[in-house]
Structure 1
Amino acid sequence: MVNFKKLCAGALLATAMLGVGGLLPSAEAGRLQDIQERGTLLVGSTGDYKPMSYLNKETGKYEGFDCEVAELLAQSLGVKVQYVPTTWKTLSADTMAGKFDIAISGITRTFARAKDMDMSHGYLLFGKTILCRKEDAKKFTSEADLNKKSVRVMVNPGGTNEKFALSNLPDCTLLVHPQNAEIPSLIAEGKADVMITETMEARRYVRDDARLAAPLIDDPFTKNQFGILMAKGDQEWLNYVNFFMEEKDMDGTLDKLEDEYIK
């Protein structure tokens, strides 16, 4: 027979030893606890992607769909948002270095990112498409129309737009411009012919600039979802972010934000 008194006594002794730094180290505090103790949610953003996350140079404030989501996430934790600037080129390195609690800036869910970092469940279905001048809209009806030496395709460095162009448009004249938010105006001014972008961004810029068109917006080259990016290894924090996004999807908040910033 099992001696339950001895078994319980042994369990209590092991628990006591673990609690005072005995056989095993105590678990480090997770990011949830860090955020609440700090009183701020550190949010990484490129600030150059309308309508998802955009730094308004006139007001100095971040605006857009993802910025609203970040504010609501912070409110759910009883803290404030503090933005941490990043770039598409340094986004992965900054995330893995723990420079912020989340990165949310119209970030595409990819296998490459999921391999090295944690990503939330997807939200907002979109795809790769193009922006061009309105008078050129009939020139670009397929991917083949872009893949020509005579077509100047402009992208921002380090993100999925550049990767798409390198993989799918090897024969185009590829131009890399460091400021993503400036590219639509450069297209409108004739400094390049086409911008590789996402349907979300294309809709916003066509709405804001009558010189631009997005002829392939209803038939994008790819289908993807955005995700919230985090350093790998904190399952509790990932679970919380996923739960938060699921709740905001079910209560209609994400639909309202989509109507406000995208549609």
Structure 2
Amino acid sequence: MKKLALLAILLLGSQLAHARTYDEIINSGVLRIGVPADYAPLAFYDKQDLLVGFDVDMAKDLAKQLKLTLMFYITSWPTLSQDLVDDKYDVAMGGVTYTKDRAAKFLLSNQVIPNGKIALAACNVAANLSSLDKINQPKVKVVVNPGGTNENFVNNNIHNAQIIRVKNNFDNIQALRDKTADMMVTDLIEGQYYQYKEPQVLCLATTQPFKGTESYKAYMVQSDNQKLIDIINNWLPTSNKEQFAVKWGVKTHFN
């Protein structure tokens, strides 16, 4: 009897973790979007504590296209992949970078926005941090949060600087404002946004992506959800992406 009960629990857990199919999503009437919500200008909370951003608008556009009610699930970078595996949401948005590792485990959409890794710095020191060699020095304080491609870049490429590890992306930015850190590695998308929003405070130390970091943002679903990713890829060219890009200062093509 105990074995049967254990088997039932295991089977239930397996069912709970199984991705909802596209048809199940449609029948439910609800599209669940997961975002870390700390990545401006893609998905973040504004001063009125409203979830806003380019990907928030894109999610609304997708839900409207599918005639579904939109529900956001707030995840984090360290738990983003596991939360998707656990079927806490249907689509991951809000700053997901296409990587080979993610592509081996999940299905990722076609390119949404081109991107790459750059150095965002406190403006008073930005001119001195214009290359990776200048950054990778013992006196330089680099702030980073866990769980994403920014941390991967820091761990793999910056070995001599002082590494300050903080809880999330908001703490990164605040450390630059407070000048408790000199710079952070982030995406070109985010760096451009913060330089525009906080001139004289936050500056791009490098204006082009570090060599080999050129990438793009995508949307991610579970590996057994081919129909859903096909729907997303078919929707992208017909979406209001260009309109939202202008609204949020996002570039959809490299110069």
Residue 89 (1) aligns with residue 78 (2): yes
Amino acid at match of 1:255: E
CA RMSD of the aligned region, Å? Answer: 1.7
Secondary structure at 2:72's aligned position in 1? strand
Residue 228 (1) aligns with residue 216 (2): no
Task: Compute the displacement of 1:59 (Å).
Answer: 3.4
Percent of aligned positions that are identical: 26
Q: Find the counterpart in structure 2 of residue 216 from structure 1.
A: 206
TM-score (norm 1): 0.83
Q: Find the counterpart in structure 1 of residue 233 from structure 2.
A: 242
Confirm or deny: 8 A CA contact 1:132 1:188 kept in the other structure: no
What aligned pairs does 1:72-221 form with structure 2 within 5 A after superposition? 72-210=61-199, 211-221=201-211
Which structure has the bigger radius of gyration? Answer: 1
Task: Compute the displacement of 1:219 (Å).
Answer: 4.7
Give the stretch that moved more between structures: 107-116 or 201-210.
Answer: 201-210
Secondary structure at 2:127's aligned position in 1? helix
Find the aligned partners of 1:176 and 1:219 in 2 and give their Cα distance.
22
Q: Deviations over 1:160-197 (max 9, x none)?
A: 00000000112221111112023222202111111110
Q: Find the counterpart in structure 1 of residue 5 from structure 2.
A: none
Task: Compute the displacement of 1:31 (Å).
Answer: 2.2
TM-score (norm 2): 0.86
Find the aligned partners of 2:209 and 2:166 in 1 and give their Cα distance.
26
Secondary structure at 2:180's aligned position in 1? coil
Find the aligned partners of 2:206 and 2:232 in 1 and give their Cα distance.
33
Residue 254 (1) aligns with residue 241 (2): yes
Q: Deviations over 1:45-97 (max 9, x none)?
A: 100000011123x5343110001110000001111211111110011111112
Find the aligned partners of 2:68 and 2:219 in 1 and give their Cα distance.
18
Find the aligned partners of 2:121 and 2:42 in 1 and give their Cα distance.
20
Find the aligned partners of 2:233 and 2:174 in 1 and give their Cα distance.
36
Q: Deviations over 1:175-229 (max 9, x none)?
A: 1111202322220211111111011101111111121110312354421000101
Amino acid at match of 1:262: G
Task: Compute the displacement of 1:29 (Å).
Answer: 10
Q: Find the counterpart in structure 1 of residue 10 from structure 2.
A: none
Q: Number of residue pairs matched?
A: 231
Gaps of 5+ in 2: 1-17, 251-255
Confirm or deny: 8 A CA contact 1:96 1:117 kept in the other structure: no
Confirm or deny: 8 A CA contact 1:50 1:64 kept in the other structure: yes
Confirm or deny: 8 A CA contact 2:136 2:159 kept in the other structure: yes
Confirm or deny: 8 A CA contact 2:188 2:209 kept in the other structure: no
Residue 45 (1) aligns with residue 35 (2): yes
Q: Deviations over 1:85-124 (max 9, x none)?
A: 1110011111112110101011100000011111111121
Confirm or deny: 8 A CA contact 2:32 2:90 kept in the other structure: yes
Amino acid at match of 2:248: Y
Task: Compute the displacement of 1:246 (Å).
Answer: 2.5
Secondary structure at 1:139's aligned position in 2? coil
Name the structure, 1 or 2, with higher relative contact order (CA <8 Å, separation 6+): 2
Amino acid at match of 2:37: G
